[in-house]
Structure 1
Amino acid sequence: MVWLAVTKKMAKPQIWSMCLYIFIGANSHCSTNTGAIVTSVKNFPGILRGIMIGLLTAYLGLSAAIITQLYHAFYGNDSKSLILLMAWLPTATSFACLPVIRKHKAAQQSNEAKVFYNFIYMSLGLAAFLLIIIIIQKSVHFTRTAYYWSTSSMLLLLILPLGVVIVEEYKVWKIRNVDLVGGDPPQPLKILTQKANQKNSATLHLAEQTIQEKVSCWRSIFKPPNRGEDYTILQGIFNIDMLILFLSTDFGHGGTVAVVNNLGQIGTSLGYPAHSITTFASLISIWIYLGKVVIGVSSEFIITKLKFPRPLMLASIHLLSCIGHLLIAFNVPNGLYVASIIIGFCLGANSPLLFTIVSELFGLKYYSTLYNIGGMASPVGSYLLNVRLTGHLYDNEAKKQMAALGLTRKPGEELNCNGTECFKWSFIIITAVTIFGALVSLILVFRTRKFYRSDIYKKFKEEARTAETEIGMTQKVGPSDQAREG
């Protein structure tokens, strides 16, 4: 609808209609993210959870650079067609992926970690390719044919992980066939006994769940289960851990979003050349990608090997971003180059940490809702620190400069501010707020230290072993045995 309005293929819509179209289009990615990330977390709930979330959000970080390449290859420099691309491409991709994005009941494979690391290596190759292409495109004139070749190479790197999946599925299929041909003979009595025990256990678990569900959800709001168990939606929303996590992300994450949203104005006001500012904006998605991948992998190592609380990583990222904020506030020579890397890295690192912590503390039963509730902290922090703080102080300084020059602002004229003072106090305040967000994170570190010292994935390891047993029994029981069981 936005594309039809911009290209004047339909009557000019009213303001409220246009706002509705933009609202739907801008927020539709929440559904895609929920479907992909939540389903994947439930398929890989064990020790690979952080790596998997980091990998998925990392590809999300590369999406802007990927779509830019597709746009130039498909439509050249027709900016109106970019809106059309944003309308049909995500929709077509979502429909194509519908058959495979679902909960799978499968046994844990011994080489799962190796496969995920292969995915990460391939994504690093894609990121490096995009980085090189962006730099070349900024340096030389790229023809439409050149865009065809670069985009084709990019798509090849993008679908390369599918080859790994096919190879691994073939290996699993081959192993199962070998087990069927040369394995131990079926033992119907033993198998049926095991199945009966599993059914009894499942029935008992279902009965316990039914008893819990009969208790009013309003009465159990302030009686949550242990950390790591399945919280209800209300228990998660009104839990002190969720409040701390929300405040930490709100204050710590909002400042990094403010930098990215105002990167062009920051560069202009501090006197950086136009081509440098364009490069910052083009490469920021690469730095965001690196933050997601590095933190996704390293935080999982810290959790499993060192038993450090994951919120400690969140506090560290907040403190690291303060360096970038101060480089901008005091206009350190060439500091924006370093600041853009630090801020991009920290902005990317926040997402996998936040989403993984929510899944670990509040369980997976209602993760789709609690995941999005936790994610609400980012736009709230962005509005407060970007719009209400940074934008307000920037406009005030611009008006002061116009008044000093004896100029009068014309109706509808954009305010422009030049010099260090334009963003100095904004980012000094943002630094203070971010430090507060880090301190709030340390409260969560203290509260969850015992939880993270335990084996937080024990339940999922047991479920994986159960699934492996069921699959093995299904393979060993012949059709006649299954018929007798029926």
Structure 2
Amino acid sequence: MAWLGLIATGWLQSLNGSSYLFGSYSQALKLALALDQKSLDTLAFFNTLGSSSGIGPALLYDRIPPPAIVGLGIAHSSCGYFLIWLAIKNPSLFSLWHLSLFQLLVGFAQTYIQTAALVSGVRIFPGARGFVLGYLKGLVGLSASILVQFFLLVCHGREECMPLMLAWLLPLLSALPILAISRKIPAPFQAPSSISWKSMLLAASLIFLAAFLLAAVIVESVITLDRIQIVLVNLGMCLILLSPIYVLVKPDRKNEERESKIEGLLPRILESSEESSVIQEQGFAIHGQIGGEFTTLEAIATLDFWLLFLGVLLGTGSTSVVTSNLSQFGHSLGYSSRTITICVSLFSIGSCVGRLGSGILSEHALRVYATPRPVFLILTAAIQVASLLLGSIAVHGALFFVAILSGIADGAFWCLAIATASDLFGLASFSSILNIITFACPIGALLLSVLLVGSIYDAQNEQGLLCVGSRCFGSSFLAVAICCAIAGVGFAALARRNKGFYHGIHACSSSSSRAL
């Protein structure tokens, strides 16, 4: 039952990235309601604001069952997307502020589903939370690409159809996962050695799904698939999504042998714990000092917190520029709506790669080479700067480069920022600290996407709603690239300030490994 619960939360996460699809139907909204670019970016801001406001669902989690939280999220999502579709079909009935409220609603819906999925997954396997979070975050990174394949099947590439599809498809596909998590599942101690082959199977299915979707996107960008071929692609995708069920039907015949091995390791684990306690007593993780357990007020009183907050604001704000303006950027360079939708899928795949790759590489570099985790935030900022510069000069294939590189940067920013916050400030007040850092994203989207990019686009295009040519986003993407470079400077300062702390983690990890 525990594994069924984890697999079910994974299915929920694989449908929970609809906010990344804004670029797939934003052009239909813009034309139907005659919106300028600043107004369109305002809608994207409210979507980001909703998806970054997770305090309410977090407070509800311990008061109502997880299926009820998921149900609330699905109800918000269906209602919001139906009203968005209605606005496209009957634009005279709705104003910009109505649409802003609808976007806030669908963004907020994601926080309900994500809270239920992530917290349930971690509580099912508390001894393997790193794997659980990586697996679930990877699936939400791929979710937009998954939903794009359903979109090509159901809507035949018509942008105005997507909100209606999301309104009815998400409740339909979420019914089975909700039933699977309908009962509270006990979470006994699960040592990593006791779940290794099953966790490897789940990780392999995730990687294979990403590779399959990437292959499908490449094929769809080269040739136009007919109806039967699109059905086959969706069938293959669904089979891969269902493949983790194998861990439920295959008997674990070596369970007793694993349990005996775990019992043999317990004395050494306890010895390692005692050593860790001694290290803490010697001052490596003192309350209120970097690496210790901070309260929220203590954390926000540090320079390190604000360096991280500023970097996340400018870094994720720059990736929000891409997600909010991908459709208009593509149309300005002459790409078709179908190609733009495919690039939304590429962004999603890149996000999954960024989440998985940055977590694995930063952890390996820290444990083996004592590399501070913020160094990888610097590299991520460099990737995003490169993406924006390629978009600014409008090189051949710019839309594809911008989509994949910005997707990688977006996924890596979030994974590394969360890990860095837990490194520096501990876990005692991690939930509230994380919510404050997460709120940097909508602020960045407001400043960079709405006020900067949207205003420059409209200034470049005074005669109509649509702007054509590299001039539409050239100067604005360059300005955002400079802002992202400033984020990289902030991350560099953070890495330099905490170099000694990360060397301490490396030394502690090395001594524990030798003890075991």
Equivalent residue, structure 2, for 1:444: 494
**What is the identity, as a one-letter code, of the residue corresponding to 2:469?**
G
**What is the identity, as a one-letter code, of the residue corresponding to 1:65?**
S
- Summarize the Cα distance change of 1:142–1:238 in structure 2 as closer, same or farther, 3 Å threshold: farther
Equivalent residue, structure 1, for 2:138: 58
Deviation digits for residues 83-102 of structure 1, max 9, x if unmatched? 12234544763553354677
Equivalent residue, structure 2, for 1:33: 114
CA–CA separation in structure 2 for the residues paired with 1:136 and 1:115: 31
**When the two structures are superposed, what TM-score results if normalisation uses the length of structure 2?**
0.67
* Counterparts of residues 255-404 of structure 1 (less than 5 Å): 255-272=318-335, 276-399=339-462, 402=463
Kept after mapping to 1: 8 A contact 2:295/2:429: yes
Equivalent residue, structure 2, for 1:219: none
Deviation digits for residues 296-318 of structure 1, max 9, x if unmatched? 21111111111111111001110
Which structure's CA Rg is the greater one?
1
Kept after mapping to 2: 8 A contact 1:50/1:296: no
**What is the identity, as a one-letter code, of the residue corresponding to 1:60?**
V
User: Which segment drifts farther, 360-369 or 373-382?
Assistant: 360-369
* Counterparts of residues 149-228 of structure 1 (less than 5 Å): 149-164=232-247, 170-171=252-253, 173-175=255-257, 225-228=288-291
Kept after mapping to 2: 8 A contact 1:38/1:367: no
Kept after mapping to 1: 8 A contact 2:370/2:506: no
Deviation digits for residues 326-385 of structure 1, max 9, x if unmatched? 111122333443333222211221111112222222223333332222222222212211
1:130 equivalent in alignment to 2:213: yes
Equivalent residue, structure 2, for 1:82: 166
CA–CA separation in structure 2 for the residues paired with 1:166 and 1:362: 41
**When the two structures are superposed, what TM-score results if normalisation uses the length of structure 1?**
0.71
- Summarize the Cα distance change of 1:166–1:376 in structure 2 as closer, same or farther, 3 Å threshold: farther
Post-superposition shift, 1:36?
A: 3.6
Kept after mapping to 1: 8 A contact 2:212/2:237: yes
Equivalent residue, structure 1, for 2:203: 120
**What is the identity, as a one-letter code, of the residue corresponding to 1:448?**
N
Contiguous gaps of at least 5 residues in structure 2: 1-78, 88-92, 278-285
CA–CA separation in structure 2 for the residues paired with 1:101 and 1:315: 40
* Counterparts of residues 418-429 of structure 1 (less than 5 Å): 418-429=468-479
Contiguous gaps of at least 5 residues in structure 1: 185-190, 206-222, 403-413, 466-486
Secondary structure (helix, strand or coil) at the match of 2:288 reads coil
Deviation digits for residues 159-178 of structure 1, max 9, x if unmatched? 323434765x8256433677
CA–CA separation in structure 2 for the residues paired with 1:256 and 1:295: 16
CA–CA separation in structure 2 for the residues paired with 1:39 and 1:452: 31
CA–CA separation in structure 2 for the residues paired with 1:123 and 1:287: 13
- Summarize the Cα distance change of 1:106–1:83 in structure 2 as closer, same or farther, 3 Å threshold: same
Post-superposition shift, 1:33?
A: 2.5
CA–CA separation in structure 2 for the residues paired with 1:277 and 1:355: 30
CA–CA separation in structure 1 for the residues paired with 2:317 and 2:401: 19
Considering only aligned residues, what root-mean-square deviation do their CA atoms show, in Å?
Answer: 4.0
1:243 equivalent in alignment to 2:243: no
CA–CA separation in structure 2 for the residues paired with 1:258 and 1:427: 9
- Summarize the Cα distance change of 1:57–1:177 in structure 2 as closer, same or farther, 3 Å threshold: closer
CA–CA separation in structure 1 for the residues paired with 2:361 and 2:155: 40
- Summarize the Cα distance change of 1:27–1:156 in structure 2 as closer, same or farther, 3 Å threshold: same
- Summarize the Cα distance change of 1:278–1:436 in structure 2 as closer, same or farther, 3 Å threshold: same
Secondary structure (helix, strand or coil) at the match of 2:394 reads coil
Equivalent residue, structure 2, for 1:476: none
**87, 96, 115: which one aligns with 2:180:** 96
Post-superposition shift, 1:230?
A: 3.1
Deviation digits for residues 6-60 of structure 1, max 9, x if unmatched? 569xxx89987775554233212123333444565677788x7666544322211
**What is the identity, as a one-letter code, of the residue corresponding to 2:505?**
D
CA–CA separation in structure 2 for the residues paired with 1:368 and 1:330: 41
User: Which segment drifts farther, 417-426 or 272-281?
Assistant: 272-281
- Summarize the Cα distance change of 1:108–1:179 in structure 2 as closer, same or farther, 3 Å threshold: closer
Deviation digits for residues 130-154 of structure 1, max 9, x if unmatched? 22334445633432x6555433332
Post-superposition shift, 1:274?
A: 5.2
- Summarize the Cα distance change of 1:373–1:297 in structure 2 as closer, same or farther, 3 Å threshold: same
CA–CA separation in structure 2 for the residues paired with 1:396 and 1:14: 22
Deviation digits for residues 217-263 of structure 1, max 9, x if unmatched? xxxxxx95233333333333444322211100111221122123212
Deviation digits for residues 377-425 of structure 1, max 9, x if unmatched? 22221221111100100000101xx3xxxxxxxxxxx522222222122
CA–CA separation in structure 1 for the residues paired with 2:457 and 2:110: 31
Equivalent residue, structure 2, for 1:434: 484
Aligned residue-pair number: 408
Equivalent residue, structure 1, for 2:23: none
**What is the identity, as a one-letter code, of the residue corresponding to 1:387?**
V
CA–CA separation in structure 2 for the residues paired with 1:335 and 1:72: 23
